Amino acid sequence: MKFLRQRLDNLRNLSQKNKLLAFLKPVINAADEIYFGTDKVTTLPHILDSMDIKRYMSLVIVALIPVALGAVYLWGLRVLAVIAVSYIFGGLVETIFAIARKKEIHEGFLVTGLLFPLILPPNVPLWMAALGVMFGVVFGKEVFGGTGRNIFNPAIVGRIFLSVAFPSAMTTSWLMPFNQGTGGFLKFSADAVSQATPLTAFRSERLIADFGNLFLGGSPGCIGETFRLGILIGGIFLIFAKISNWRLPLSALLSVVICAGIGNFFAPDKFAPALFQIFSGGLLLGAFFMLTDPVTGPFTRAGKWICGVLFGFLVVLIRGLSGYMEGVMFSLLLINVFSPLIDRLVLGVKYPKIKK
């Protein structure tokens, strides 16, 4: 620890103005801040909460660990390579922007870097993952001014870019997951057998997949969306830790149940049954980890309810009536677009004009 402290102090000296490493200042400061807490003291109030953004973001990562471990078991060690690629290239973009802006590196990217690989198909080429995360971070976040100012979830922007640019790679070839013994922990990648995801199977053959498989990850799908038990554990952990809000996931899931129920009642060949919709595709991952992103989502309470309901409605609508199998991605993007507007409307009602 002392050694590390000395190293960092050396580096910090070198990064002073007009020194050799001055351009790397944001990187060195970020490393320094990660290893050692702050030495700044408060003014008013005299005490501050022990929580900070680093902890906030790292707890989201903790909540994603069950999902990530499940993904490695289901799809093989290649998943780790995809995650590494996403972190390296996403981090690179974040660092370049921080250096160009002469600002600190923000922690928000830690979550994007892990969330993005989880919504890719398991056999995605590594270069594609790198391209997607870079596009997502640049056009989903940095062009708006970095963490806290982005209107879109960078992971979703990257994913949509990939699905539009490489539709065949992103939508047609799915792998069959490992489900025996040590699973993917000792293997590099699952066999390239083309499979239909449960949603596709429903669309083409009206097949309802087995719920046990859906729940534990025994069905094809994206890297992190199929181990739904892990998603529920992580999502509920975040809600209990007060890091994500319960209103959005709850209203979204209720809305899916109701909309799918109505759709299934009137047009059973178009709309899958409610419970099947909940446990298929990326709905749970989207509802618990992406919809709840505080920066891009609504912040008013009523806005959260409205956005959740709207999200569920859009998901069911796109799944049922559009050419796409899965609607979570587009619904999330639409919700990101609409949430400032919805917040504005809610604020208008909550804070009426002052009497004259």
Partner 1 sequence: MRKSKTFSGGYRFINFEGQPKDTLEEVRVPLRVTIPLRQGFGAEGDCLVKAGEGVLAGQIIGHSEYGVSSPVHSSINGVVEEVKRVNYFKRDCLMVSIKGDGNPRYQKLPGAINNWESLAYEEIEKILYLSGVTALDREGIPTRMRSSIILPKEAKSLIVHGVGSEPYNISGELLLKGKNILNLIEGIKILRKIMPNARVFLALSSHSRKILEEIEKLTSAYDWLELYPLEPKYPQGYDEMLVATILKQKFPYGYSAANVGAVILNLQAVLLSYEAVVEGKPLIERTIALCGPAFKEPLHIKARIGTPLREAVEGRVKEGLSARFVLNGLLTGFELKDLNLPIDKTYSQIIGLVENRERKFLSFLNPGLKSDSYSNTFMAKLSPRIQKTCDTNKHGEERPCISCNYCEEVCPVGIIPHLLVKYVQCNILDETLMNLRVFNCIECGLCSYVCPSKIPLARQIREGQEKLTIQGCDRNQCILPYFDNLKGIEEYRGPKEL
Residues making contact with partner 1 (CB under 8 A): 1, 33-56, 58-59, 104, 106-108, 146-149, 240-243, 245, 294-295, 297, 299-300, 347, 351-356
Structure tokens belonging to residue 231: 């998603």
Closest separation between CB of residue 125 and partner 1, Å? Answer: 32
Structure tokens belonging to residue 8: 């960092």
Q: Which is nearer to partner 1, 240 or 265 (CB)?
A: 240
Q: Which is nearer to partner 1, 57 or 71 (CB)?
A: 57
Q: Which is nearer to partner 1, 59 or 155 (CB)?
A: 59
From 315, 230, 309, 239, select the one nearest 278 (Cα to Cα): 315
Exposure on the CB side of residue 84, measured as CA atoms within 13 A: 6
The answer to whether 146 and 158 have CB atoms below 8 angstroms apart is no
Closest separation between CB of residue 334 and partner 1, Å? Answer: 19
Q: Which is nearer to partner 1, 52 or 84 (CB)?
A: 52
Which amino acid does the sequence have at 224?
G
From 207, 223, 212, select the one nearest 78 (Cα to Cα): 223
Distances (CA, A) of 210 to 53, 168, 174, 200, 280: 40, 26, 18, 14, 11
**How much is the CA Rg of the chain, to the nearest whole Å?**
22
Which amino acid does the sequence have at 324?
Y
Closest separation between CB of residue 37 and partner 1, Å? Answer: 3
Region of 206 on the Ramachandran plot (φ > 0 left; ψ -120 to 50 alpha; else beta): left
Q: Which is nearer to partner 1, 51 or 193 (CB)?
A: 51
Q: Which is nearer to partner 1, 55 or 206 (CB)?
A: 55
Closest separation between CB of residue 49 and partner 1, Å? Answer: 5
Q: Which is nearer to partner 1, 153 or 163 (CB)?
A: 153
Closest separation between CB of residue 80 and partner 1, Å? Answer: 21
Closest separation between CB of residue 132 and partner 1, Å? Answer: 23
Distances (CA, A) of 54 to 37, 57, 116, 219, 260: 10, 5, 19, 35, 38
Closest separation between CB of residue 193 and partner 1, Å? Answer: 41
Please state, as a whole number, how many other Cβ atoms lie within 10 Å of the Cβ of residue 171. Answer: 15
Q: How far apart are CA 304 and CA 310, in angstroms?
A: 10
| Helix 108-118 vs helix 126-140: crossing angle, to nearest 10 | 140
From 206, 230, 204, select the one nearest 73 (Cα to Cα): 230
Closest separation between CB of residue 287 and partner 1, Å? Answer: 18
Q: Which is nearer to partner 1, 101 or 206 (CB)?
A: 101
